[in-house]
Amino acid sequence: MSTFDKDTLVEQCLSAVRSESDPRRAVKDIVERAVSDPVSIESEVRPWTESPMMTIWHRSEELTVLHIVWPPDVDLFAHDHNMWANIGIYGGREDNTFYRRLDDGRIEPNTEKSMLVSDVVSLGPDVVHSVANPTRDWTAALHIYGGEFFTTPRTMWSKDTFEPMELDTDFLRERLEAAAAAARLADAPGEAP
Ligand SMILES: [Fe+2]
């Protein structure tokens, strides 16, 4: 029987943000519990290959809760969030590269972390990372941010020069939607010969 409920998740996270002295840590625990049981989450959401790329479960000045499904074969620009984040994987794999900020505004790659099912990464407000799904499977994740994810000014960095630029959510969304469309096409059953 399913024990995951997205409204309960949002309520728990909001409560943590409002009452805990270390909300990032408290929300990490909540996300870890949720993604420890991927089957329960899957029963609450639409199949990955049919899901919208991003579903907003909650959006306010204090908290953003997103359900995000990544298509295969995606490698996104490095970016910051300017707020803490906890990201929990419950399907597929997400490869993270973390960057060091340089004095001239550029960044350089520093460390890497490959996340598999039930892994949670907790990021401070200054973290810069890029994410990739190098597999042929979809990646499904819960993303919890400690602020208003969509209107907070953020930065992304060129893949080639590592120069900073204003983050353009529409640009990133278009790239993801194009990859999703290609993946859905590849997933569709072919006609019988
Ligand atoms: Fe990110």
Query: What residue segments make up the domains of the chain, in order of their start?
Result: 6-176
Q: Is the pLDDT of residue 191 over 70?
A: no
- Give the model's pLDDT for residue 190: 56
Q: Is the pLDDT of residue 47 over 90?
A: no
Range 24-53 average pLDDT: 90
> Distance between CA atoms of 36 and 116, rounded to whole angstroms?
11
Range 136-155 average pLDDT: 94
Tell me how far the alpha carbon of residue 137 lies from the centroid of ligand 1, in angstroms: 20
- Average model confidence (pLDDT) for the chain? 91
> Distance between CA atoms of 57 and 38, rounded to whole angstroms?
17
Tell me how far the alpha carbon of residue 193 lies from the centroid of ligand 1, in angstroms: 43
Tell me how far the alpha carbon of residue 4 lies from the centroid of ligand 1, in angstroms: 24
- Give the model's pLDDT for residue 28: 98
- DSSP track, the chain: -----HHHHHHHHHHHHHH-SSHHHHHHHHHHHHHT-HHHHHHHS--TTTS-SEEEEEESSS-EEEEEEEPSSEEPPEE--SS-EEEEEEES-EEEEEEEEPTTS-EEEEEEEEE-TT-EEEE-TT-EEEEEE-SSS-EEEEEEESS-TTTS--EEE-TTT--EEE--HHHHHHHHHHHHHHHHHHHSPPPP-
Tell me how far the alpha carbon of residue 64 lies from the centroid of ligand 1, in angstroms: 13
Q: Is the pLDDT of residue 2 over 80?
A: no
Range 146-162 average pLDDT: 94
- Give the model's pLDDT for residue 193: 46
- Give the model's pLDDT for residue 67: 94
176: confidence class by pLDDT, cuts 50, 70, 90: confident
Q: Is the pLDDT of residue 55 over 50?
A: yes
> Distance between CA atoms of 93 and 138, rounded to whole angstroms?
8
Q: What is the pTM of this model?
A: 0.90
**What fold characterizes domain 6-176?**
Jelly Rolls (2.60.120)
Percent residues over pLDDT 90 in the chain: 70
Among 178, 2, 149, CA closest to 76: 178
Tell me how far the alpha carbon of residue 191 lies from the centroid of ligand 1, in angstroms: 38
Tell me how far the alpha carbon of residue 114 lies from the centroid of ligand 1, in angstroms: 14
Q: Is the pLDDT of residue 93 over 70?
A: yes
At 28, phi and psi to the nearest 5? -60, -45
Report CA 7 to chain centroid distance, whole Å: 18
